[in-house]
A and B are shown apart, each in its own frame.
Chain A
């Protein structure tokens, strides 16, 4: 069975304190890995798509990387507005996304 595991479940950071979120996956095949950001009560907001091992993408203070078994979302010098739940999802060759439980990030000023 396809599985997506995110760690840690929660992360509390001081403003400016960089950190990384992990997404490990076991799927029969990988078409793509996606990172989303979700604020409470709202729909997920797209961040990145990664397709192959070794690929990296950046957007402002966020950088996503992909290996054959896991992906990392690095947050550099976070600000309070980066507080959100970050979701990882994989497309395991059956055209439907399997999501992890998410990592809730809280950044204190």
Chain B
């Protein structure tokens, strides 16, 4: 069974640009979560989508947004990129919302110059 997939693997952008990251959950999983892992800061929760709705978001500015599609795949959009947005962006999925284990994808490495 295929795991969580993310694209692209790596991305280089400049300050002020916009970026879109993509995630496909494990088949049958309806919840998708996004996390940011910046150097030295650990994993920080960004967003949670379930059944196409945003259910919760972490302490990030509104320029971080996303959506979930009817096939449960998801996009994370980051506008007006700043240098500190450089990080590994991880997507996870779970079978049901909340308690069930979250399984992570390989991540997208974003570098902002």
Contact B56 A94 (CB under 8 A): yes
Contact with B along A10-49 (1 / 0, CB 8 A): 0000000000000000000001101010000111111001
The residue on A at minimum CB distance from B98 is A95
Contact B104 A43 (CB under 8 A): yes
Contact A46 B103 (CB under 8 A): yes
Contact with A along B48-76 (1 / 0, CB 8 A): 10000001101000000000000000000
- A interface majority secondary structure: loop
- B interface majority secondary structure: strand
Bound Cα distance from A87 to B43, whole angstroms: 9
Q: What is the size category of the interface that chain B forms with chain A?
A: 20 to 34
Chain A residues, CB < 8 A from B56: 94-96
Contact with A along B88-113 (1 / 0, CB 8 A): 10100000011101111111010000
Count residues on chain A whose CB falls below 8 Å from chain B CBs: 24
Contact B104 A32 (CB under 8 A): no
Contact A91 B99 (CB under 8 A): yes
The residue on B at minimum CB distance from A89 is B43
Give the A-binding residues of B (Cβ under 8 A).
4, 33, 35, 42-45, 48, 55-56, 58, 88, 90, 97-99, 101-107, 109
